[in-house]
Amino acid sequence: MSGIDAELKAKGVDIPSRPISAVGEVSIRYGNIPIPLGEGAVRGPPEIERYRPLARAIRNWYYETYGDRIKIDMAVGKIVLLLEGDLYALRIPQFVGSVNFIAEREWIQKAPIGRGSATTNVVQLVDGMTPGLAQRLSDEALLEIGSSFEIGLRAFYTLMSTQNELMAIARNDIKMAVSNLMERHDHFGASKWASLQSAEKVLKAAIALKGGRFKYVHDLGQLCHQLTELGMVFDHARLVDDIQCTPKIRYGEEACSREQALVAHQASLVLVNRLRDAGAGFELGLGG
């Protein structure tokens, strides 16, 4: 397994993708044996089931070697929100089909796969949320979770679905803004700078999709003015005020509090939605 893993590493296969790639490599090396995937909730024919212990052994090798690094994050993005005085990250899930999203204090146990719309309690998508904490959430906290989920759902699916390289880069900037908010409590300025970068990329993508040539500036106001000249009218003044900062903020030479970084992060996602609704040429990617 060490040799196979080394070959996958040399090919540039990332760690979360290696367990399934390793299954394919083992299968080919030993005469295309039919190694099953998954945990075996549905049994296959005997000629496949005989190799299930081999699949489990490969998976266990990766768990023992890399631990949690092999886990695949199925979220398309995260939005940070303030709940009862503490910061939490709310995951926006990747899903197909019809899903009924609710925001309630009652914990929903994992339901078996069946027909019809699935129901997901977005409270359970908050990283670190527990059934006990969910029961004690105030009405205001539930509303905050619900409204933040709506903002994040539309924004991240727009970023993911719009075929423009700048939108993909903006997603990475948002990840950095979230990381600096949640994991580096002395880096609020760096978080706000990342939010500025994401907003800048999104505005430039909108200009390009409108057939314009964007300016290479960090001034969001100038970029919004370019969009106005291209015929796009949208409410941006407050968003620009919340996000705009200078490069000095990265080095602590411009003050930035936790609250200011949080507001900038959320505003950068609202900006995505506002631009799309104003006709920026972005794709929603949620069936309409």
What count of other Cβ atoms lies within 10 Å of the Cβ of residue 277?
Answer: 13
Radius of gyration of the chain (CA): 22
Return the half-sphere exposure (C-beta side, CA atoms, 13 A cut-off) of residue 194.
21
Sequence-distant (≥ 6) Cβ neighbours of residue 118 within 8 angstroms? 95, 97, 98, 99, 100, 111
Mean pLDDT of the chain: 90
d(CA 107, CA 133): 10
- Output the pLDDT for position 114: 47
pLDDT given at position 14: 82
Q: pLDDT tens across 62-98, in order? A: 889 998 888 766 789 999 999 999 999 999 998 877 8
Q: What percent of the chain has pLDDT over 70?
A: 93
Extents of the domains making up the chain: 2-70, 75-277
CB 34 within 8 A of CB 47: yes
pLDDT given for residue 178 in this prediction: 95
- Per residue in 200-212, pLDDT (tens digit) is 999 999 999 999 9
Say if residue 147's pLDDT is above 90.
yes
Assess contact for 42 and 113: CB atoms under 8 A: no
Torsional class of 234: left (φ above 0), alpha (ψ -120 to 50), beta (otherwise)? beta
Is 75-277 assigned to CATH 1.20.120.330? yes
Spatial distance between the Cα atoms of 144 and 135, rounded to a whole number of angstroms:
15
- The band of 12, judged by pLDDT with boundaries at 50, 70 and 90, is confident
**pLDDT of residue 241 exceeding 50:** yes
| Per-residue confidence band for 268, with pLDDT thresholds at 50, 70 and 90 | very high
